[in-house]
Structures are given as structure tokens and as C-alpha cells.
A = this chain, B = another copy of it.
Amino acid sequence: MSGDIRNLAAAARSAVPALAVASGGQKNQALCGMADGLVAARPQLLAANAADVAAAQRAGHPTAFVDRLTLTEQRIAAMARGVRQIADLPDPVGEIPGMWRRPNGLLVGRMRVPLGVIGIIYESRPNVTADAAALCLKSGNAVVLRGGSEALGTNRAIADVLSEAVAAAGLPKGALAVVPSADRAVVKEMLSLHGLIDLIIPRGGEGLIRAVREGSQIPVIAHDKGLCHTYVDRAADLAMAEAIVVNAKAERPGVCNAMETLLVHAAIAPAFLPRGAVRLAEAGVELRGCPQARAIVPAMAPATDADWDTEYLGLILSVRVVASFEDAVAHIARHGSGLAEAIVTADHATAMRFLREVDAGAVFVNASTRFTDGYEFGMGAEMGISTQKLHARGPMGLIALTCEKFIVLGSGQIRDSRT
């Protein structure tokens, strides 16, 4: 078993040089072949998936879990559409954003190149298999995919289709591999293969991400959690604030860029909170407030200290009245997870301070944190949202799967130690 994953990773590593210089046309041919293949293989995919779903139901997995695992005709079509969208993005590899000439005539610049081999560890959502494979291939990387053990049959069926398209486009077969084992020990082995795998990206819940971070000898990029705030400043337009707050909390509460805590300046709280609370209640949101917030809206439950650090991922919102802009920024610095933070204000100087002083992957003025997303930012499909600062921060698209090397064009220059 341990030999298997090492062999897969070694095959992926040996595909790296050919992938790095594959043309955009060749990669797009593979991607279009993948999309066509997924649509054509619907019967096989649905059959493999039906077996996984039946096993998951027998094992007593919750309905939500089984739903995420289940493939339908529509979901297969959506997977294929996603792969085609990735084909449509510009090829990031080989891009040279600019070069500059040195006094000695050397021309110096940077060229964007793939990272090498990327390992993806995820839960039982089969769409991640096609999505992650397509992003890695487009960015010239080999990929080793390790999905949830309950989806193994589905993932192998998807990988068969994808691998065929890779081979048909003349790219090395090792470029794409699904770990063919449900054994959890394989993940531990995979996380030890530095030298073969360059980067690990975990996709899933907090527990999965923590386990990967702690167990990995390979660099990891991930997001820990999404504890996002919206701060309604004393200079906020109240109608705008209401709309943004309701959207950020309730439009889709189960995702990482939804708001978990509302901060309101004390000067505007008496005007904002009563109406805001009604709008939120209409959207089904349960409010938990600090004492000042409850003094204004007594119907709120009291918030405990733990509330300020809780990612509800549901229709609950903690509400705090703050005495000043500085207190809001300090609350965010202390409790935010660095994913997305927003201010609602009509005051320009306050907006500029918030942009500068708040440390997060995405900082919003007068908009909902729900826009924190590769598509919404205009960058195309994303691999996830990074809450760390090194290498990739915020929505991770194709660029996050590449790096830049320096290139230097000379005409015989040598270095003079006296200069």
C-alpha cells in the first residue's frame, strides 16, 4: 500500500518536465476531452456512484453527507461545464509580465512556471476530482488526488475518464492520479513524500485541514475557517447596511465567506439595530448580542465569550456594539480568521483606514463578504480560499498553482567583483 502511493507520486514527478512545457493548446485539448468524456461516460459514472451511495447509506452516514456524495445527470453536466470554463481561462504558464534592462545590458524578468506535483486531499464530493484535476493540468502541474474513502469508486471512474483525455492529448499519463485506496494510513504516507510532492492542498472541514496541517512534511495551503465580520460604521448608510448585513449572513449561511459577527458603532446602534434585527429575524436569523446590543434589542439572546470565536455556518449571528472604529478593528484583529472583513461607511477616510488597517485575505468597503470568491473577483475557477499569508492569500486560482522564476538574457556579461 505504502509502495502504491510512492509509485503514483514518482510517476507524477516524472510527468513534470513534459507538463511544464506543454502548450496551452495541448492542455486545452486534454481539458475539452475531459469534459466530453465526463458527459459521454454518464452511465458508468452513475453506476459507480450508485454503489458508493448505497454503501454510504448502509454505513449510516447522515443525509447531508450522502447528498454531497451523490452524482446526478445535472451534477455531471455541471462538472463538465466547470472543466470547460477552466479551458477557457488564459494559460498562466510562460507569462513574462515584464523585463527590465540593467546598466550592463542584461535583460532581467520573471517567467511564470508550474510548481510541479500538487497533492489534493478532500472529502467525499466527487466534483472536486474533476475540478482540482482541471486546475492543476491547466497550470501545468501533475496532481495526486486523494478523496474521501466513501467516494473511491466514483473517483476512480472519474479519473479513468480524465486520464484517457490526458493520454489522448499526448500528455504523460502520470500527470493525473487518484490514490486507489480507502486506507486512511495512505494519507499519512502521502504527507511524508516531500521531494515528490511540492504542495498539499486540503479541501474540506476544519478537522480535515487541521489533521493535514499537523501531519504534513510538505508545505500546505489551506483556509482554517471563515470567521467574517461586517462593521457598520457611525457614518453608514442605514439602508445599504441592512441589505449588506442580511446578504452576508443569510444568503447562504453554510459557506466560509458568510458573516458570523456583526459589529455596530455605538452612535448608530440605536438607529440601526432595531430595524436590522427585524430584517435579520425575517431571514430566519437568531441573534446573540452583547449587553449594549441587548439593551437596544432586548429580544436578542445574550452572547457568551465563545460566540465571538464561533463559525456558526448557519442562521445564527453574534452582535456587538463597539465604542469606536478602533474597537471594531481590534475586535476583528482578535477574533477574525483572516478570510474576509467588511465595513459599511459613507465616510471616505474611514473606508481608507479600514482597507489599510484590517489584515485579511479580502477587505471590503460597502459590499457583502459573500463576494469572496474567484469567480466573483473575475479570476475564474478557484481551488479554495487561503487564509494564510505565504504564497497565496484569498481566493486561489490558477496563479496560486504557479511560481515565477527569474530569467536573464545576456550577451556575454560577466561580473566584476570591484563593482
Residues of chain A touching chain B, judged by Cβ–Cβ distance below 8 Å, are: 17, 20-21, 94, 100, 102, 106, 108, 111, 113, 115-116, 198-199, 219, 221, 237, 240, 243-244, 246-248, 251-252, 333, 351, 355-357, 359-368, 370-372, 376-378, 389-391, 393-395, 403-417
Give bound CA distance, A409 to B354, whole Å.
11
How close is A334's CB to chain B, nearest CB, in angstroms? 11
CB-contact partner of A394 in B240, B333, B406, under 8 A: B406
CB-contact partner of A412 in B102, B357, B366, B391, under 8 A: B366
Q: A-side binding surface: helix, strand, loop or mixed?
A: mixed
**Could you say which residues of chain B place their CB within 8 Å of the CB of A102?**
376-378
List 5 extra interface pairs beyond A21-B356, A362-B408, A395-B406, CB under 8 A.
Answer: A106-B376, A113-B359, A221-B390, A366-B411, A367-B410
Q: Is the CB of B408 within 8 A of A363?
A: yes
In the complex, the chain B residue whose C-beta lies closest to that of A108 is B377
Report the copy number of this chain in the oligomer: 2
How close is A198's CB to chain B, nearest CB, in angstroms? 6
Q: Is the CB of A106 within 8 A of B411?
A: no
**Could you say which residues of chain B place their CB within 8 Å of the CB of A411?**
366-367
**Selected A-B contacts with CB under 8 Å, 5 pairs:** A21-B356, A102-B378, A219-B219, A367-B408, A367-B412
**Could you say which residues of chain B place their CB within 8 Å of the CB of A219?**
219, 390
**Could you say which residues of chain B place their CB within 8 Å of the CB of A237?**
412
**Could you say which residues of chain B place their CB within 8 Å of the CB of A406?**
361-363, 372, 377, 393-395
Q: Is the CB of A17 within 8 A of B333?
A: yes
Give bound CA distance, A378 to B100, whole Å.
9
Shortest Cβ-Cβ A-B pairs, 7 listed: A367-B410, A247-B414, A370-B415, A362-B406, A391-B391, A240-B412, A366-B410
Q: A389-B198, A414-B368 are in contact. Are A355 and B407 (CB under 8 A)?
A: yes
Q: A378-B102, A390-B391, A403-B389 are in contact. Are A408 and B365 (CB under 8 A)?
A: yes
